């Protein structure tokens, strides 16, 4: 695994949280673990206070391992980039009215475009 070496800062997506650490994915290729001892120098009462599944964070590479796995740490770095990804879509004032008005027009335009390509 030559891409990352000890000390590198990587961007990772939190994929799981257990009592003993935070699991992350780096570049959709590497799996990593941030052990509970590598979260902070203080006592960690609730690991869920430090990350949420789906959150994008920064982490420092501690050690490379085989099989595309790396050990990571967030001690002493500003690791928070985003909070948990929200899958909820907020409805606007107009709601779906724009879709109701424009859907037929969009379908006709796309059909015309496809016909012209033939």
Q: Is residue 23 part of a domain?
A: yes
pTM more than 0.85? no
Share above pLDDT 90 across residues of the chain, in percent, rounded to a whole number: 52
Q: pLDDT band at 42, cuts 50/70/90?
A: very high
Yes or no: say if 62 and 37 are a contact pair by the CB < 8 Å rule.
no
Q: Between β-strands 69-73 and 56-64, what pairing exists: parallel, antiparallel or unpaired? A: antiparallel
For residue 31, being part of any structural domain is answered with: yes
Q: Domain residues for 38?
A: 9-73
Q: Do the domain assignments include residue 62?
A: yes
Beta strand residue intervals within the chain, DSSP E? 9-18, 21-26, 30-35, 56-64, 69-73
Q: What is the pLDDT of residues 71-106, one digit of tens each?
A: 999 999 989 886 555 556 566 777 777 788 888 998
Domain count, the chain: 1
* H or E element in which residue 75 lies: none
77: left (phi over 0), alpha (psi -120 to 50) or beta: beta
Q: What angle is formed at CA 68 by the lines to CA 81 and CA 79, rounded to 5 degrees?
A: 15
């Amino acid at each position: 695994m030559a891409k990352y070496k000890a000390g590198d800062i990587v961007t990772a997506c939190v994929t799981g949280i257990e009592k003993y650490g935070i699991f992350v994915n780096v570049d959709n290729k590497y799996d990593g673990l941030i052990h509970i001892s590598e979260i902070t120098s203080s006592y960690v009462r609730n690991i869920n206070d430090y990350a949420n599944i789906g959150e994008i964070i920064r982490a420092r590479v501690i050690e490379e391992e085989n099989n595309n796995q790396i050990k990571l740490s967030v001690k002493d770095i500003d690791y928070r980039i985003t909070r948990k990804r929200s899958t909820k879509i907020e409805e606007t004032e107009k709601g779906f009215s724009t879709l109701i008005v424009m859907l037929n027009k969009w379908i006709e335009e796309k059909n015309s475009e496809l016909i012209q390509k033939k």
